[in-house]
Homo-oligomer: A and B are copies of this chain.
């Protein structure tokens, strides 16, 4: 929780009362590698702030293939935003890739913080806007770059992540098969 408070305070000040409110609506939880935080089909209204570890969200297509939407490490938020926003059952699954500590919020209660504590708003907005920017970049990269270039960028953006992830986690994030990723790795090693 300290991590989150600290992060908020890089954007703005936060009264002790608002801090207390955040505490009161959140739960610190630790998950083991392989645990599922949100499962496809469940009704969920949770949102997680990652303070340590590594998670990913993915969906499963009609052929049973997984497609990774997001990795979340230190300081990132993760949830099924599609389900949360529409009040639908989850279409995503959120999985713990290594032992992780997260702060769990009820999404609605977290929004309601803005009524007594409007001071929280700039942080909220900043988080949403940064999220949009990263998604825009991802879409453009997917349109512009080759698979090998995308993998290179991925390694820059998540330098340590390969320790925790299976090959197919990364491949399904990049939109390629594990075999292709394996060949790209080989190609890169030879240069």
Contacts and interface: CB of A to CB of B under 8 A. Distances in A.
A144 B172 CA distance: 10
A144 B61 contact: yes
Contact of A67 (B69, B129, B140): B140
Nearest to A131: B132
A82 interface: yes
A85 B130 contact: yes
A66 to B, nearest CB: 10
Interface of A: 59, 61, 65, 67, 69, 81-82, 85-86, 111, 114, 118, 121, 124-125, 128-133, 135-140, 142-144, 172, 175
A140 B69 contact: yes
Contacts of A67: 140, 143-144
A143 B85 contact: no
A133 B172 CA distance: 20
B135 A136 contact: yes
Contacts of A61: 144
Contact of A133 (B85, B124, B143): B85
Contacts of A143: 67, 172, 175
Contacts of A125: 111, 124-125, 128
Contact of A82 (B69, B121, B133): B133
A86 B67 CA distance: 29
Contact of A118 (B86, B121, B133): B121
B124 A135 contact: no
A85 B135 contact: no
A139 B137 contact: no
Quick one: which of A86, A124, A131, A136 has the most chain B CB within 10 A?
A: A136
A133 B69 contact: no
22 contacts: A59-B140, A61-B144, A67-B143, A69-B140, A81-B132, A81-B136, A82-B133, A85-B133, A114-B118, A114-B121, A118-B121, A125-B125, A128-B128, A128-B132, A131-B132, A132-B132, A132-B135, A135-B135, A135-B136, A135-B139, A139-B142, A142-B142
